[in-house]
Structure 1
């Protein structure tokens, strides 16, 4: 249905680990995806297929089911050598939506998947498999009041052919209630309980393992958010806080304060101050490398960020709009090591530890232009300056390189053109700055797709990716993304 990108920390609602932003994917209800859909694609290095069908469940419900598969040949390394990392992924799932009496709604959905990727080092297959199910019940009490309860179960299994395998089960229960208070306060209150159980086994325990191998972790939370409309809804203030208790660091409080001021029908200014944390995980507390030369530490604390944001949105005309945002983030207790264990100045064991702090600042500009009904243009430019330093007296010499793992500048251009009723095209071009610490150069990539609607139910497509560059690196390690061209057919029935 839509993809929501929330800038900055979202911990006041989403909880711990929502540090630098949140991507919230909202899928369509089963009622909005009735009938059949089938898609096949083939290219020089990729083959994929997708199938979906939706129908009625009596007079009060709808369903849909889907299945898809993707097979991808190996990428290439610098110098055109085969990366030997061919992979495949298969997935299937369902969704059912029911409209019940008393304005109740019930949604049940689930997925099952499996995948494999070849490990180039030892030529063994690494496997991924899992399944999940979500049940969500909601009741609309009135125009400004609603209650929602959601249960979630997830099981995953992953193997890394060189290090470890992980078998994990997770359960999550959430309750949320929204209501209007004194005509100006829209309040959301709720809470949740999350438990995860894992079994992590080292492939070669002398090189890497986790102690204990099995662990159960629980987290429970309470949250409240008050959205206040003032000055005839021209000024909106939002205060929120989430309290969590986890088994790694105990109590965590993550507040947020936001404002939105509508200057007129076309112009809005907004700002926010937020605190968020990344809580420790198994790697931070339970890691054992080289039989104890490097270990995790139960004293490792949550990494913290205090974020300041300011933005401006303007509808300049009926065809042109802009969105600009700037930010300044202060980070503390960043993860490092008690020493450089490759060239140490002390004796082992060396520990995972809170060793650094840093700041990031930057901004993003987004321009949208639709000169006609059949042509639209979106241009975005982002800039990030990240500066990370170790604490005074720290022996960690690598933490300072963390500010060179992200591109300073990124530019994106997207053009959509409906040529006529039968033909349309989409162009995506992007420039991504260098990753100096990973020795990855800046690159420019251009993707172009052309779609031919033969009938209202049958479409043919031609999709080209990385068209003007035979291959380029996007991350360190030597593997490179190749130029590809795929043919695609889509049939709706």
Structure 2
């Protein structure tokens, strides 16, 4: 055990000051447990449901959680969720997944912002450096672990994250925020909101962020973004939303690519240029008879120019869904969608052939919610049907059961089938990769249009229990069976062309020769010791077993079972002190990730980290905070096996912030 562990536990314990020191004049600023259980979750069934009546492993990060976290990046917020795997690679790059398979190119997690998918078809993952939202505009973040393909479609394999921003009517007035830290990072943002006499609510905002380099790296960056949102309710039945955003930035990166000359690698730095924007429109019609129609369309464009590749993408998405009571005990929910994507790339170390292509996806889903015993037993069955240009027809059924014997207990179980369709790179791409252990050798990883979708069959069981008004417990068990997972299969080596430096080339083709099982346990608890003091705890256990086919010579993928930590523990204390002061502490433990011994040496060891925050609200609308992150020393959280991106250390950081509502 690291020598800093006992010290960290002692400091965290010291932050757990007795609640009796808090003055009675302080009001509880967080949601009560009863209110938390009634928080509306829309990402499980595409309709509002209370958290207590959700037949899924759902977790809600509230605005109060965000405010008191001191986080400046969205992935940092996800660390408090059991079952989420979050690792910082460098100051701009993250590996984020749910229930295993964590990597820079994590491809089994669907991430949305207000229902708009932010995944890239290039590798079926998320560019987190482009998701630097104004955190004060977020109402809540809904995290659903487990498949969500029946409602959301392909790539919602191990989880769904939906960031819900505030209604424009909730952001009237002005907001100015300034945040700086000791790593030469800082953000400044401004927002103005208002309402017109015709019932139109609006907000406009801008944000500039400067990211300092991590310890030992050249991964500094800067991003600016502007945006708006309008909401209009013409009567009690129709609501209209229009929102848009544009951003541009530069991100530093450091690489150590292998070469054909001694010492067989180089240390390079590069600046990546990123830009993009979107426009989203939504219409919701909800008569008083429990029927609801929702139509949403968005146009999204993004462009990246990086050391390894250049990529430009334009997406148009149209989606509608309608739900209605079929009988006194039955509700039908159905919907359809169409997505069109244009993708252009320029030749680089990562190459796509053809450079440009357009793809379409059609989808339809239907879900039947049946009440067996009113307010006690409910069954939901349904499926999504899709057709895409890569693998053709796909289906994703599920069945969920929710039993609530009393208002204090709820037990749920589910079975799901979900798919992860091939990415553009897996279908059309190629990349040169030189293994460090084999000088004068290059592996050419090539996509294959014959690759089929990865499949998961998921079995889940969950239990929510509120034994007392001040204590809430949540547990989830899962067992996932995967088939047709991606492998990288070597072909016979051959000599290099005569005009190049003599070396050996090994072609490696993407295939589907891996299967596996994962199972795990996820626990969450919240204890409201007093109106001023709350504790939150989360623990997750994960076991992954992956197996290649007998005829597979896979080079990398079987090591994925060691890329995600087996144990994770998160503890948070939030304490309201007298005279509008706040003291918050986060303690987090992550067990080792061990693809190989080099991973342990370069950033795969287990770690314990501590974050502290001291806040003061001297006046309504004004908040000052001083805090520290990673207070137990430098650490590397992740080591990539596929790419030569140089990881940097997350160093201890002191920060200060000002938030002014006026």
Cα drift, residue 478 of structure 1:
3.8
User: Across the two proteins, how many residue pairs are aligned to each other?
Assistant: 482
Q: Please, which of 633, 636, 647 is the counterpart of residue 473 of structure 1?
A: 636
Partner of 1:150: 296
Deviations along 1:309-351, one digit per CA (max 9) or x if unpaired, are: 001110110101111110000001111112278999x995431
Q: Please, which of 33, 41, 44 is the counterpart of residue 171 of structure 2?
A: 33
More strand by share: 1
More helix by share: 2
2:206 matched to 1:70? no
What CA distance in whole angstroms lies between the structure 2 residues aligned with 1:340 and 1:44?
Answer: 50
Cα drift, residue 486 of structure 1:
0.8
The answer to whether the 8 Å contact 2:491/2:507 transfers is no
Partner of 1:374: 532
Cα drift, residue 448 of structure 1:
1.0
Partner of 2:154: 16
* Residues 56 and 335 of structure 1: CA distance in aligned 2, closer, same or farther (over 3 Å): same
* Residues 340 and 39 of structure 1: CA distance in aligned 2, closer, same or farther (over 3 Å): farther
What CA distance in whole angstroms lies between the structure 2 residues aligned with 1:366 and 1:111?
Answer: 35
Which structure 2 residues correspond to residues 243-254 of structure 1 after superposition, within 5 A? Answer: 243-254=385-396
Q: Which moved more, 1:22-31 or 1:322-331?
A: 22-31
2:596 matched to 1:462? no
Q: Please, which of 120, 126, 143 is the counterpart of residue 272 of structure 2?
A: 126
The answer to whether the 8 Å contact 1:462/1:485 transfers is yes
Partner of 1:452: 616
Partner of 1:164: 309
Cα drift, residue 33 of structure 1:
1.1
The answer to whether the 8 Å contact 1:340/1:396 transfers is no
Q: Please, which of 329, 333, 337 is the counterpart of residue 184 of structure 1?
A: 329
The answer to whether the 8 Å contact 1:176/1:188 transfers is yes
Cα drift, residue 472 of structure 1:
0.4
Which structure 2 segments of 5+ residues have no match? 1-138, 256-267, 433-441, 496-503, 640-645
Partner of 2:490: 339
Cα drift, residue 381 of structure 1:
0.7
Which structure 2 residues correspond to residues 481-492 of structure 1 after superposition, within 5 A? Answer: 481-492=650-661
* Residues 13 and 342 of structure 1: CA distance in aligned 2, closer, same or farther (over 3 Å): farther
What CA distance in whole angstroms lies between the structure 1 residues aligned with 2:527 and 2:492?
Answer: 53
The answer to whether the 8 Å contact 2:444/2:505 transfers is no
Q: Please, which of 61, 64, 73 is the counterpart of residue 200 of structure 2?
A: 61
What CA distance in whole angstroms lies between the structure 2 residues aligned with 1:44 and 1:5?
Answer: 31
C-alpha RMSD over aligned residues: 1.9
Partner of 1:79: none
Partner of 2:124: none
What CA distance in whole angstroms lies between the structure 2 residues aligned with 1:288 and 1:397?
Answer: 15
What CA distance in whole angstroms lies between the structure 2 residues aligned with 1:342 and 1:281?
Answer: 26
2:544 matched to 1:386? yes
What CA distance in whole angstroms lies between the structure 2 residues aligned with 1:370 and 1:266?
Answer: 16
Which structure 2 residues correspond to residues 412-451 of structure 1 after superposition, within 5 A? Answer: 412-437=570-595, 438-439=599-600, 440-451=604-615
Deviations along 1:398-430, one digit per CA (max 9) or x if unpaired, are: 322110110111000011111134101221111
2:426 matched to 1:280? no
Which structure 1 segments of 5+ residues have no match? 77-81
Q: Which moved more, 1:422-431 or 1:252-261?
A: 422-431
Deviations along 1:123-144, one digit per CA (max 9) or x if unpaired, are: 3310111000110011112241
What CA distance in whole angstroms lies between the structure 1 residues aligned with 2:507 and 2:382?
Answer: 42
* Residues 490 and 293 of structure 1: CA distance in aligned 2, closer, same or farther (over 3 Å): closer
Q: Please, which of 345, 355, 358 is the counterpart of residue 513 of structure 2?
A: 355
Larger RCO (CA under 8 A, 6+ residues apart):
2
What CA distance in whole angstroms lies between the structure 2 residues aligned with 1:368 and 1:414?
Answer: 9
Q: Secondary structure at the match of 2:450?
A: coil
What CA distance in whole angstroms lies between the structure 2 residues aligned with 1:331 and 1:350?
Answer: 22
Q: Secondary structure at the match of 1:270?
A: strand
